[in-house]
């Protein structure tokens, strides 16, 4: 089912975002930030004791406030609650139980979801004693924490991961020959039509497999002897006239589908171009290390001349600067133009994402790259690259051992990545490069 989702909810100013940032950074600090990926996310990958999960921040819930923004925030939080596997309910030890806390607790009890109650700002023994009143919320045992001072956060995370579904992280590996394909993107870009074109007549022949993603349909299809499992997320926003801020939360289902997939079809609307929302969804797929194909839909409606495709691709590369490697296919779901090309491209990208390179050839390519453009020096010390090895696939991940990892400049790492791509392709696949000191374990 992919990574479990943990939604952080509560009224304003109880420390939800501080907790979110602490949990997110525990994971993000391991992975080098990639320029061009939109960073103002309300979701992030987190990890605790080998449990990977997605954490979702929400706005403060004020049930007594009827202004437009407060109502919108309540709607956002309720979508996050409905999508979550576990809810982290945050209260404030200094303020005690408020009317809003009681109302939020009522919503959470009705959700029937596992809820962990964190009582934040418990910075002193006196405040720790006062948390017992929070039993009155009927949510269960309150856990005293201090986000500001990083107190008791380990116990809190222990309680959270204990509530994960037992099949969390189960990726259905029995069908290793099956390529799982998530069709993602904003609402109304044509995901559903592309899904229907891809599964075609086979959909009526093969019984639909109920997906673990709510409102998604998993449909197995065999084309040219290759087994695909298409994950449709088109049903992710069926509510009429949802406010614009809600759009943020509608992507949570897409993210869940990304986690379950091998290859992602990132669908864009040719008329609207790339939006901030598209960048967020694409950035998540990139960071998750999935194979990616950019599908530009409604190309039949785009005003074209001889250079239209070239110009549009150039604009795409500028907007999605972190995803230069992804092939672009221009389609029309309405006329089915070029839809038939997608299975072949998906299969190719899946193979590239799962490619393994022999260590001897890999080191030859890196040594040639060093000979053409020697590593930089810093404060008189020159970087020496000693050895390179591939440690995993999906995505291809390489460890480069060096005399001093601290002087590996990002631009030189990018140069080495480009040389790897020149030599081996990896089209449609992110590459991860980890720099280690010569004495570090792999």
| Residue-by-residue pLDDT tens, the chain, 442 positions | 578 889 899 888 888 888 988 888 743 322 333 333 333 446 777 889 888 898 888 777 776 677 766 676 677 677 778 778 999 999 999 889 999 899 889 889 888 899 999 999 988 777 767 788 999 999 999 999 998 888 899 999 999 999 998 764 444 444 467 999 999 887 778 888 888 888 874 342 233 332 323 344 578 888 888 999 988 664 444 334 334 444 555 567 677 788 889 999 999 999 999 988 788 888 889 988 999 999 999 999 998 889 999 999 999 999 999 999 999 999 998 898 999 999 999 999 999 999 999 999 999 999 999 999 999 887 778 889 999 999 999 999 999 999 988 888 889 999 999 999 999 999 999 999 999 987 665 4
Query: Can you say whether the dihedral through the CA atoms of 221, 223, 228, 234 is positive or negative?
Result: negative
**CA-CA distance, 111 to 106, in Å (whole number)?**
9
**The total number of residues written for the chain in this structure:** 442
Q: Tell me: do 127 and 187 sit in the same domain.
A: no
Tell which of 304, 324, 353 closes a domain.
353
246, 105: one domain: no
> Are 302 and 381 in a shared domain?
no
Whole-model pTM: value is: 0.69
CA dist 375 and 390 (Å) reads 20
What is the pLDDT, as a whole number, of residue 214?
A: 37
Same domain, 102 and 28: yes
Same domain, 48 and 31: yes
List helix spans (H) across 186-341: 191-199, 202-205, 246-260, 276-287, 308-319
Do residues 279 and 341 share a domain?
yes
Residue-level pLDDT at 82: 79
* Distances 423 to 2, 73, 292, 315, 336 between C-alpha atoms, Å: 32, 49, 20, 26, 35
DSSP label of 61: P
Answer yes or no: do 188 and 300 share one domain. Answer: yes
- CATH number for the domain spanning 377: value is 3.30.300.20
Q: Which of 353, 381, 405 is the last residue of a domain?
A: 353
Decide: 185 and 268 in contact? Cβ < 8 Å.
yes
pLDDT at 296: 96
Q: Total structural domains in the chain?
A: 3
In DSSP terms, which residues pair with 435 in a beta bridge?
400
- Looking at the domain assignment, is residue 169 inside a domain? no
| CA nearest to 349, candidates 367, 329, 331 | 329
What's the burial of 276, exposed, middle or buried (CB within 10 Å: 0-12/13-18/19+)? exposed
Give the 3-state secondary structure of residue 432.
strand
Cβ-proximal residues to 308 (8 Å cutoff; 6+ apart), any chain: 302
Domain membership of residue 442 (yes or no) is no
Cite the DSSP H helix spans in 165-293.
191-199, 202-205, 246-260, 276-287
Angle separating helix axes 276-287 and 246-260, nearest 10 degrees:
30
Does residue 122 sit within a domain?
yes
Q: Are residues 149 and 236 in the same domain?
A: no
Is position 428 within any domain?
yes
pLDDT of 215 reads 43
Q: Can you tell me the distance from the alpha carbon of 107 to that of 11, in angstroms, rounded to the nearest whole number?
A: 12
- Phi–psi pair at 142, nearest 5 degrees: -75, 140
> Do 345 and 265 fall into the same domain?
yes
> Does residue 34 form part of some domain?
yes
- Whether 140 is covered by a domain: the verdict is yes
Q: What pLDDT score does 373 carry?
A: 95
CB-CB contact of 249 with 76 (8 Å): yes
Question: What's the gap between Cα 413 and its chain centre?
Answer: 23
Give the E-state strand segments of 137-262 in sequence order: 142-144, 178-184, 209-210, 217-223, 226-232
CB atoms within 10 A of CB 431: 18
The domain that holds 89 is classified in CATH as 3.40.50.300
What pLDDT does residue 59 have?
75
Same domain, 36 and 133: yes
How is residue 422 written in tokens? 């020149």
Note whether 417 and 329 are same-domain residues.
no
Q: How far apart are CA 441 and CA 432, in angstroms?
A: 17
Supply the range of the domain harboring residue 421: 359-437
pLDDT value at position 250? 55
Domain boundary among 103, 127, 162: 162
Residue 391 inside a domain? The answer is: yes
- b/e code 19-54 from CB counts within 10 Å (16+ = b): bbebbbebbbeeeeeeebbeeebbbbbbebeebbbb
- Can you tell me the distance from the alpha carbon of 417 to that of 324, in angstroms, rounded to the nearest whole number? 12
Residue 192 resides in a domain: yes
Place of tokens 């980890």: 434
- Residue 127 and residue 236 share a domain: no
């Amino acid at each position: 089912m992919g990574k479990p989702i943990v939604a952080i909810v509560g009224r304003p100013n109880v420390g939800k975002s501080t907790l979110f940032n602490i949990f997110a950074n525990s994971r993000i600090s391991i992975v080098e930030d990639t320029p061009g990926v939109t960073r103002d996310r309300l979701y992030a990958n987190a990890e605790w004791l080998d449990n990977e999960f997605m954490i979702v921040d929400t706005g403060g819930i004020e049930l007594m406030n009827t202004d437009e923004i407060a109502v919108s925030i309540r709607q956002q939080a309720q979508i996050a609650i409905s999508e979550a596997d576990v809810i982290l309910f945050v209260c404030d030890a200094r303020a005690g139980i408020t009317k809003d806390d009681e109302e939020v607790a009522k919503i959470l009890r009705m959700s029937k979801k596992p809820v962990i109650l964190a009582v934040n700002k418990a910075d002193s023994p006196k405040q720790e004693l006062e948390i017992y009143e929070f039993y009155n919320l009927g949510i269960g045992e309150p856990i005293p924490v201090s986000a500001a001072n990083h107190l008791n956060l380990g116990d809190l995370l222990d309680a959270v991961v204990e509530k994960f579904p037992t099949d969390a992280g189960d990726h259905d590996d029995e069908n290793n020959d099956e390529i799982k394909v998530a069709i993602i993107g904003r609402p109304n870009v044509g995901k559903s039509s592309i899904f229907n074109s891809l599964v075609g007549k086979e959909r009526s022949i093969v019984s639909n497999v109920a997906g673990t993603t709510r409102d998604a349909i998993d449909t197995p299809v065999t084309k040219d002897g290759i087994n695909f499992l298409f994950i449709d997320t088109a049903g992710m926003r069926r509510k009429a006239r949802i406010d614009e801020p809600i759009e943020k939360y509608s992507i949570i289902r897409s993210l869940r589908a990304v986690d379950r997939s091998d290859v992602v079809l990132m669908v864009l609307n040719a008329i609207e171009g790339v939006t901030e929302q598209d960048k967020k969804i694409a950035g998540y797929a990139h960071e998750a290390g999935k194979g990616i194909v950019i599908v530009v839909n409604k190309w039949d409606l785009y005003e074209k001349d001889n250079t239209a495709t070239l110009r549009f691709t150039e604009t795409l590369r500028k907007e999605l600067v972190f995803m230069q490697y992804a092939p672009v296919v221009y389609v029309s779901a309405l006329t089915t133009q070029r839809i038939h090309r997608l299975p072949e491209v998906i299969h190719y990208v899946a193979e590239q994402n799962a490619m393994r390179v022999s260590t001897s050839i890999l080191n030859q390519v890196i040594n040639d790259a060093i000979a053409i453009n020697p590593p930089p020096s810093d404060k008189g010390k020159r970087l020496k690259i000693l050895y390179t090895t591939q440690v995993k696939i999906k995505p291809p991940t390489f460890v480069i051992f060096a005399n001093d990892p601290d002087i590996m400049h990002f631009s030189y790492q990018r140069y080495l990545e480009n040389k790897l791509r020149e030599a081996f392709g990896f089209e449609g696949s992110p590459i991860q490069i980890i720099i280690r000191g010569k004495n570090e374990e792999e």
